Amino acid sequence: MIVMVGLPARGKTYISKKLTRYLNWIGVTTKVFNVGQYRRDATRSYNSFQACAVAALKDVCDYFTREQGQVVVFDATNTTLERREVILQFAKENGYKRIECYKMTYVPLDDDKDRNLSYIKIFNVGSRYLVNRVQDHIQSRIVYYLMNIHVTPRSIYLCRHGESELNLAGRIGGDSGLSPRGAKVRAVCRLPVSVHLHPVSHCVCVCVCVSSPGLWGST
């Protein structure tokens, strides 16, 4: 759910409609819920912002559950912390309720009963993968793609090799060792990597490099 925040006449509704149109165009089912429209349509029924917001949020839940909507743009001023907290708590409570309802009937894939099926199980948003009976090129490409999706921010560092002995000689190419200045580059390159090491497992993301093996091994 995308929640708009801002003073009146700042373009929130315009942006909401444009964004909704774009998301629907790329195939993501999206709908705008304008709280002001609820207030105009039923002035007597909703005598406060919270009443209008709750009514709109209930329709949001129906949109997600009954119409299988994917994204909602919640168009309102939402100018105070209290108003935003109402929306946040409502979204959390109903989201957790939906998860709990699915848990009651959810039957996960069984390693023994479903061993003849081709599948990939993803645990905890990519912390672990279980791949079973991948038999052709398309399946392997799908597995490769899914295993390289990252939903959390990550850093990518690009670095050329340190200065080599051949660089000092003015030669291009080759596979010589590092010069004294190249060795200093190696020491500096270790710092950003060591910062991201896990304190217990000491694991760090895999970095694939393409260059002369001797130089990159030294750096």
The list of the chain residues with pLDDT below 70 reads 40-49, 193-219
Tracing tokens 């069984």 back to the chain, one arrives at 110
The pLDDT of residue 9: 87
pTM comes to 0.54
Distance CA 164, CA 217 (A): 12
The pLDDT of residue 169: 86
Give 81-109 pLDDT, tens digit per residue. Answer: 988 888 888 888 887 887 888 888 999 99
Distance CA 203, CA 123 (A): 18
Distance CA 30, CA 34 (A): 13
Tracing tokens 């694939």 back to the chain, one arrives at 208
Average pLDDT taken over every residue of the chain:
83
Give 119-141 pLDDT, tens digit per residue. Answer: 999 988 788 899 999 999 999 99
Residue ranges and CATH numbers for the domains of the chain are: 2-105 (3.40.50.300), 108-153 (no CATH), 165-218 (no CATH)
The pLDDT of residue 218: 66
The pLDDT of residue 30: 95
The pLDDT of residue 107: 93
Phi, psi of 131 (to 5 degrees): -110, 130
Distance CA 77, CA 176 (A): 64
Those residues whose C-beta lies under 8 Å from the C-beta of residue 152, and which sit 6 or more positions away, are: 125
